[in-house]
Structure 1
């Protein structure tokens, strides 16, 4: 059993329904591990009725707990090597159209942890999705269930979780062994979080917008943790503000704000960047994909910039990385019937260079190329195919970048066409027949994209041969 805790370093984006272009709620995140090679499966768990006595056990610590007898069906993106690395189901939308993404590692400060230390055998992040997502009927009930589990079992790590349904988007931060706060993202707002405590002023008189652990106000008062003269700034009380935050975390939030609100001047090292943001720009899936795949594009801090020094290029940690194992946008739409309103946009590969493929989550199963992924390179697996394509583009970034931009642009157009066609045809199906139809459409799109990716790979491979430095032209006959 793995003894050391496996931490994730992720970036999250949350969008309220009135801030999106079509009235959707959206939660999104990059799953960034510390190893750039960590294969993941994409699987579908069926609904269950009346199976009491089932238990969930963590592979990271001694946690074990019984789960309810009934659950909704739910997709997940777990590690292939779960016995050594833990399950880490990462993200999904269950049969009640509740979305969950977990987890973004978040660090409480030593002052708070001194009085409520982390629980070694508490509910770890590798099992938190399977302990919560299959059993909840709304985003708020997901926060409530998670809070109850933390109260009962404690947490062995600081974590942030994202929840949504068609109306509400919630962001929850667990910062000590038993204390947490969750904030509802206002309908007209968006938020970006990046591995540090993000929530700011908490209004304990507004339970519709905030939820919190039992006794948190008394805990803070008893141990003299509030450094402010007035208010209850959760970030100030429980969070950190250090060199790592400024260069590893805060700068990612700054770039997201810069993209959505270019009119606002901010400092990438400012620890007081606001959590809740508003913009006149109507946010769509493409915007979120761009942010999650970004690397300080068009700034001096871009690692690909040919015009700046290494000190500038590597000053800040980018959002999109080679160790992003999957990137996802969980979208729940309000302009189509709920039976096919939930779409999971999943990018297996570098989010900078690979497409986000849309999956209707009302499905029976996931495509075969996303299941039983090999721990060694196998081009038949979507995981390896899209990572190989990403690596190939980056290997000749200057020469291949425009090809990749054109490829991703074509993919997005085809995705929109596929969703429009599927939505129109879905009106003719109900119940199990609808689920079967949506499953078939998912499979068809995956096959279509696999052919497109392989052609792209072949085109770039052929182009790359001509870019070899082992060439010398003097006489065409020599």
Structure 2
């Protein structure tokens, strides 16, 4: 049973996260974002709005590890991105609730054997499959998200080592759970960004500054009692709880290196360095397009690009950010307003290298039927399958299709900005239920536009592709 449990757990263990503070962004928004990756190329996802609940008497039982939790009687409405097949668990992954608090869970990480020896992971504890379900409907600030999840870990323990993102209009918090009961969290400074890639990243913890750091009860005593701090001075969570292995230097750190290279191009760093900083201040203000470009990247314009012209050895050297097994890329945006439409969830199903990011307003009762309709086999009425078909066609003739595909993404990115501006203007006239109903209708209009544009793009590529077959023969007219 233990072996099967580990196999299941690792099917959702390969993500890349980005957090951007409001003073580091070009529009004053807070952003949290992540590529949800699997270890299989086809793992369908849904996206819809989970309704608020009241007077509920229900016990949650995880399909994955049988964690059993009595649920609160009331819960907020929230957007959710669960697995289409929930035999292994819900894996709701990300969303924003009606209190404009967002969560993305999880960034799988690994703790070292020294700390796990004294506080092992708990088989029936809180795991990725349950986190969003058990936390997001019940929190009204990012800080309370950390506290709420921390209380669950204290009571039930953690099954995995994970990083979790929380945000609201004021704050971004990143929480790293390392062992069965111990974790820390850091408030991302407003003028900074962070990239996380399957490795414990949080560095120094200032225990005299609870406004910007949080931690599990007894963590200092745990480290001191078991002689776990390798440093002569200071208290560095990465050094104490993290790993520094050959796998890290080929699977994890290069992704952090590339994300920082895109936002701080003048800083020279080694992609295999074990000392890349967790926090950085960008060289220019970060736009939504910059975050999209990082999540859609595969070491573009370097010799390490698997689709580039480098040597076969270099092209296979590092694990890229965007992969064939990326099934749900999301960017959660909280704009610095109180208009009721400030929360936007940008959804990129399938490989974001070739797909479009679709903006949805989360103060809504629904997204669109095409995002909750996910049959087992391909059907282009399903958003998941539509974007999956597109990625397959583009990659199959990458050199011929990359430019028209980039044009398609650019045109839709421009349309999205124009549409959001249009909705913002109209939203100023509305409030309450009328605003929620309006944004619900706009979500469906947005989905329809992107779906139609994607079908048209796919049809164009398939039509062009008929001329690219190698099964052709040109007759010599002199024969």
Q: Shared topology, TM-score over 0.5?
A: yes
Q: CA deviation at 1:476?
A: 7.5
Classify the secondary structure of the residue corresponding to 1:437.
helix
Question: What is the correspondence of 1:156-305 to structure 2 with a 5 Å cutoff?
Answer: 156-305=159-308
Structure 1 unaligned regions, length at least 5:
none
Q: Deviation at 1:286? A: 0.6
1:62 Cα deviation (Å)?
A: 2.0
| Secondary structure, counterpart of 1:295 in structure 2 | coil
User: How far 1:310 sits from its partner (Å)?
Assistant: 1.0
Compared with structure 1, are the counterparts of its residues 119 and 425 closer, same or farther at alpha carbon in structure 2 (3 Å cutoff)?
same
Q: 3-state DSSP class of the match of 1:150?
A: helix
- Write the deviation string for residues 158-177 of structure 1: whole angstroms up to 9, x where unpaired: 01100000010010000000
C-alpha deviation, 1:475, in angstroms: 5.2
In the other structure, the counterpart of 1:380 is 381
Please, which of 128, 131, 150 is the counterpart of residue 128 of structure 1?
A: 131
Structure 2 counterpart SS, 1:161 = strand
Q: Kindly indicate whether residue 24 of structure 2 is the aligned counterpart of residue 22 of structure 1.
A: no
1:146 is the counterpart of 2:149: yes
* 1:408 CA displacement: 0.3
The partner residue of 1:62 within 54, 66, 69 is: 66
C-alpha distance in structure 1 between counterparts of 2:168 and 2:464, whole Å? 45
Give the Cα separation in 1 of the matches to 2:21 and 2:55: 35
C-alpha distance after superposition, 1:90-125 (max 9, x if no partner):
100000000100011111000000000000000111
Distance 2:179 2:9 in 1: 17
Classify the secondary structure of the residue corresponding to 2:129: coil
Distance (Å, rounded) in 2 between the aligned partners of 1:343 and 1:383 = 19
1:163–1:170 Cα contact (<8 Å) kept:
yes
Match of 1:50 in 2: 55
Question: Which residue is equivalent to 1:82?
Answer: 86
Tell me how far apart the structure 1 counterparts of residues 478 and 201 of structure 2 sit (CA, whole Å): 65
Secondary structure class of the residue paired with 1:288: helix
Match for residue 140 of structure 2? 137
Please state whether the residue corresponding to 1:103 is helix, strand or coil. Answer: strand
Whether the 8 Å CA contact 1:12–1:104 is kept in 2: the answer is: yes
Matched, 1:323 2:328: no
Scaled by the length of structure 2, the TM-score of the pair is 0.97
Within 5 Å, give how 1:431-470 maps onto structure 2.
431-470=432-471
Structure 2 residue matching 1:255: 3-state secondary structure: helix
Does structure 2 conserve the Cα–Cα contact (< 8 Å) formed by 1:56 and 1:127? no
CA deviation map 1:393-434 (0-9, x unaligned): 110000000000100000000000110111111122221111
Asked if 2 retains the 8 angstrom alpha-carbon contact of 1:58 and 1:124, the reply is: no
Task: Tell me, yes or no, if the aligned pair for 2:339 and 2:428 is still in contact at 8 Å.
Answer: no
Q: Is residue 10 from structure 1 mapped to residue 15 from structure 2 by the alignment? A: yes
Query: Are the structure 2 counterparts of residues 371 and 477 from structure 1 closer, same or farther at C-alpha, using a change threshold of 3 Å?
Result: farther
Q: Residues 477 and 370 of structure 1: is their aligned pair in 2 closer, same or farther, counting only changes over 3 Å? A: farther
C-alpha displacement of 1:68: 1.3
Per the TM alignment, residue 49 of structure 1 is displaced from its structure 2 partner at its CA by 2.3
- C-alpha distance in 1, partners of 2:401/2:275? 38
Gaps of 5+ in 2: none
2:362 pairs with 1:361: yes
Check the 8 A contact 1:57/1:127 in 2, yes or no: no
Contact 2:20–2:193 (CA<8 Å) still a contact in 1?
yes
Give, in whole Å, the separation in 1 of the partners of 2:469 and 2:377. Answer: 27
Cα RMSD of the aligned pairs, angstroms, is 1.3
**Contact persistence 1:99–1:164 (CA under 8 A):** yes
Cα distance, 1:378 vs. partner? 1.4
Q: Secondary structure at the match of 2:214?
A: strand
In the alignment, the residues of structure 2 paired with residue 132 and residue 419 of structure 1 have an alpha-carbon distance, to the nearest angstrom, of: 29
Deviations 1:121-140 (A, max 9, x none): 00111010011000001000
Whether contact under 8 Å (1:99, 1:330) holds in the other structure is yes
* 1:72 corresponds to: 76
Q: Which moved more, 1:60-69 or 1:354-363?
A: 60-69
Matched position secondary structure for 1:102: strand
Indicate conservation of the 8 Å contact 1:139/1:165, yes or no: yes
Q: Does the aligned pair in 2 maintain the 1:16–1:25 contact within 8 Å?
A: yes
Q: How many residues align?
A: 474
CA distance in 2, matches of 1:118, 1:240: 16
C-alpha distance in structure 2 between counterparts of 1:197 and 1:349, whole Å: 26
